Amino acid sequence: MSKFKDSVLKAVSLVPKGKVVSYGQVALMVGIPRAAIQVGWVLHESGDKVPWWRVVNKKGRISTTCLEHDANMQKVLLEQDGVEVSDKLMVDMCIYRFIPEENFLDKLNLDDEYIQMLMDKYGI
């Protein structure tokens, strides 16, 4: 298993209940800011190993292209976490967006230099 997949799984598994993250955020956490689409690819493979339903696209919309019932299942799972999902499968990112903290990033074995770059660039 590549380091990329391992990091993605670890990052997603650390997302707290009641919060959601975008694929782009996860990509940032694993050190590859523009590999958001690969994150989704890894989650698709992982299935039940991680809380994949806490990951949505940047607009806060559930974007599983698999089957419709999967998207609906994600909606139910999010609601079980206490996250409100609109009838159009939208989540209010302003409220539920999970903002990673420094100690959170430490768990992902990121370089201090990279963490500084994130804080400097995104004000984390």
Partner DNA sequence: GCTATGACAAGGA
Partner DNA sequence: CTCCTTGCCATAG
Provide, rounded to whole angstroms, the least separation between the CB of residue 100 and DNA.
15
Q: Which is nearer to DNA, 2 or 103 (CB)?
A: 2
Q: Does 65 bind DNA (CB under 7 A)?
A: yes
Contact 6, 46 (CB under 8 A): no
Q: Which is nearer to DNA, 34 or 69 (CB)?
A: 34
Q: Does 88 bind DNA (CB under 7 A)?
A: yes
Residues 83 and 80: their CA atoms lie apart, in Å, by 7
> Which residue in 11, 15, 20, 43 binds DNA (CB under 7 A)?
43
Q: Does 69 bind DNA (CB under 7 A)?
A: no
> Which residue in 10, 13, 41, 97 binds DNA (CB under 7 A)?
41
**CA nearest 13: which of 33, 35, 42?**
42
Q: Does 110 bind DNA (CB under 7 A)?
A: no
Residues in the chain, how many? 124
Output b/e per residue, 29-61; b: 16+ Cβ within 10 A.
Answer: bbbebebbebbbebbeeeeeebbbbbbbeeebe
> Which residue in 10, 14, 38, 104 binds DNA (CB under 7 A)?
38
Q: Does 14 bind DNA (CB under 7 A)?
A: no
Q: Does 98 bind DNA (CB under 7 A)?
A: no
Q: CA end-to-end span of the chain, whole Å?
A: 29
